[in-house]
Amino acid sequence: MIVVGSDHGGFELKEAVLELLRQRKLECADFGTEGPASVDYPDFAAKVAGAVSNGEADLGILICGTGIGMSIMANKFTGVRAALVHDEFTAQMAREHNNANVLAMGGRILSPQQGRKLVEIWLDTDFAGGRHQKRLDKISAIASQQS
């Protein structure tokens, strides 16, 4: 299950991403926003990241104007590794090295075509594991010491 959310700054790209996921026959859910009216990105980041954190969803996609606010909020949730990506290389690395379970993008940075391409790369890339898993384990261990 892939859950997708945006604020008004990411609304257009969110719709394009959902169309892609449906075309690929992937199980997905639209967590809003429903239109271009101004809303607050933390509310939508919390819905998506919360679903990934509690296991309701396997993956999440969050889009605001820059992707910055969404990634900041999503990374407050236990077990969430949200990666803000801007190009094909960062989309690939977000999976290959960081095994990001939430993808954050900027709807005011990327065209719908560019954003859809980054989602495809992230979905189609495998996590490399090995030394990268050790580093993710360190993130979890250090995060658990903070709470």
Question: Which listed residue (32, 42, 43, 65) binds ligand RB5 by CB under 6 A?
Answer: 65
For residue 21, the minimal CB distance to ligand RB5 (Å) is 21
Question: Which listed residue (5, 50, 60, 69) binds ligand RB5 by CB under 6 A?
Answer: 69
CB within 8 A of 35, min separation 6: which ones?
Answer: 8, 11
Instruction: Please say whether the beta carbons of 59 and 102 come within 8 A.
Output: yes
Q: Which of 8, 86, 97, 132 is catalytic?
A: 97
Element (H, E) at 4: strand 2-6
- Hey, what amino acid is at 89? F
Determine if 11 is a binding residue for ligand RB5 (CB under 6 A): no
Binding region for ligand RB5 (CB under 6 A):
7, 9, 41, 64-66, 68-69
Catalytic residues: 64, 97
